[in-house]
Structure 1
Amino acid sequence: MSITKVTRNYQITIPAEIRKALGIREGELLEVNIEGDRIVLRRFKRERKRLKLGRNVTPEEIEKSIEEGMMECMGS
């Protein structure tokens, strides 16, 4: 069992053995839910595709990605 402390900013640290076991990396997004009296963390799954760096991206691809992101934010 691992124990973590809530800071004055209401933040917690995920213990190293848990991060390693689940492969959680810095910058990764986690979804937080309540299940009864438990706080449950899950990897956040992005529905929209992400642009890959290291290749040429056309202005059309950028526009399309922006439009898809805006639609996702608006719930459409």
Structure 2
Amino acid sequence: MKKVRVTRKYQVTIPKEVRELVGVRVGDELKVTVEGNRIVLESLKPVVGNPVDYLSSLSPKPSDLDAVKLVEESWHED
């Protein structure tokens, strides 16, 4: 449990450990709800586990792209 203090403007700072655990960054939007006497903050970003699995799921069919080759070719472009 982490304790935070409410400022005069009713602001709180999310502790670094919590921000890093959830992946909250400056500019992110959070959903605020009330559950009994609890204030609940939820990230609106999709939860991404393995980035490769996530990116692979964006295309309905497998791709034969060679990402390494594309990057190497881009180095030689003028």
Verify same fold: TM over 0.5. yes
| Cα-Cα RMSD | 1.1
> Distance between the aligned counterparts of 2:18 and 2:24, measured in 1?
8
Could you say which residue in structure 1 is the equivalent of 2:32?
32
Structure 2 residues without counterparts, runs of 5 or longer:
46-78
Task: Write the mapping of 1:1-76 to structure 2, written as runs, cut at 5 A.
Answer: 1-44=1-44
Task: Tell me which amino acid in the other structure corresponds to 1:21.
Answer: L
Task: Tell me which amino acid in the other structure corresponds to 1:6.
Answer: V
Structure 1 residues without counterparts, runs of 5 or longer:
46-76
Shift of 1:43: 1.6
Could you say which residue in structure 2 is the equivalent of 1:63?
none
Shift of 1:44: 2.9
Deviation >2 Å, runs of 4+ = none
> Distance between the aligned counterparts of 1:24 and 1:8, measured in 2?
23
Q: Percent identity?
A: 51
Shift of 1:8: 0.1
Question: SS of the residue aligned with 1:6?
Answer: coil
> Distance between the aligned counterparts of 2:40 and 2:2, measured in 1?
15
Question: SS of the residue aligned with 1:17?
Answer: helix
TM-score, normalised to structure 1's length?
A: 0.56
Shift of 1:30: 0.4
